[in-house]
Chain A
Amino acid sequence: MNVAVLASRATPPATGTTGEGRRTLQLVLRYGVLIGVGLLMLYPLLWMVGAAFKPNREIFDSIGFWPQSPTLEGFVEGWRTGTEHTFGTYLLNTFEIIVPKVIVTVISSVVVAFGFARFRVPGRRVLFALLIATVLLPKSVLLIPQYLMFRELGWLDTFLPLYVPAAFATEGFFVFMIVQFMRSVPLEMEEAAVIDGCNSLQVLLYVVVPVIMPAIISVALFQFMWSMNDFLQPLIYLSSVEKYPVSLALKLAIDVTEATSWNQVLAMSTIAVLPSIVLFYAAQKYFVEGITVGSVKG
Chain B
Amino acid sequence: MYANRAAGTAYVLPFIFGLAAFTLFPFVASLLLSFSDYQLQDPVSTASFVGVENYGAMFADRTFQKSLGVTFLYVFVTVPLKLAFALFIAWVLNFRLRGIGFFRTAYYLPSILGGSVAIAVVWRYVFAGDGLLNQAFEVFGAAPANWLGEPGYAMFSIVLLRLWQFGSAMVIFLAGLQAIPEDLYEAARLDGASPWRMFTSVTLPLLTPIIFFNFIMQVVQAFQEFNGPYIITGGGPLKSTYLLPLMIYEETFKYFNVGYASALSWFLFVIVALFTAVAFWSSRYWVFYAQERGEGK
Contact = CB atoms under 8 A, between A and B. Distances in A.
Contacts of B13: 115
B118 A108 contact: no
Interface string B23-59: 1011101100100000000001000000000000000
**A140, A143, A253, A266 — most chain B CB neighbours (10 Å):** A140
B211 to A, nearest CB: 10
Interface stretch (A41-49, A81-89, A95-103): A41-49
A142 B224 contact: no
Interface stretch (A69-77, A119-127, A210-218): A119-127
Nearest to B109: A280
B227 interface: yes
A146 B26 contact: yes
B144 to A, nearest CB: 12
A218 B104 CA distance: 17
A225 B112 contact: yes
Q: Is the interface of A mostly helix, strand, loop or mixed?
A: helix
For the complex of A and B, list the 9 residue pairs with the smallest distance between their C-beta atoms, beginning with the closest.
Answer: A119-B8, A168-B18, A115-B11, A145-B26, A269-B118, A145-B29, A115-B12, A229-B115, A292-B175
B119 interface: yes
A98 to B, nearest CB: 13
Contacts of A190: 1
Nearest to B136: A63
Given A30-B92, A269-B117, 18 more contacts: A37-B89, A45-B122, A112-B15, A118-B1, A119-B2, A120-B8, A136-B220, A138-B224, A141-B269, A142-B26, A142-B27, A142-B30, A145-B33, A148-B29, A168-B18, A248-B117, A250-B117, A298-B213
A114 B12 CA distance: 8
A93 interface: no
Interface in A246-260: 246-248, 250-251, 253-254
A63 B44 CA distance: 53
A8 B194 contact: yes
Interface string B240-259: 00001100110011000010
A146 B22 contact: yes
Contacts, number: 294
Interface residues of B, number: 99
A216 to B, nearest CB: 16
B293 to A, nearest CB: 9
Interface of B: 1-5, 7-19, 21-23, 25-27, 29-30, 33, 44, 89, 92-93, 95, 97, 103-110, 112-113, 115-119, 121-126, 130, 132, 135-136, 139, 164, 168, 171-172, 175-176, 179, 194-197, 209-210, 213-214, 216, 220, 223-224, 226-227, 230-231, 244-245, 248-249, 252-253, 258, 261-262, 265-266, 268-269, 272, 276, 296-297
Interface of A: 1, 4-5, 8-9, 26-27, 30-31, 33-34, 37-38, 41-42, 44-45, 47-48, 51, 60, 62-63, 108, 111-112, 114-116, 118-122, 124-125, 127, 130-131, 134, 136-149, 152, 165, 167-170, 175, 183, 187, 190-191, 194, 200, 225-226, 228-229, 231-232, 236, 246-248, 250-251, 253-254, 262, 265-266, 268-270, 272-273, 276-277, 280-281, 284, 287-288, 291-292, 294-296, 298
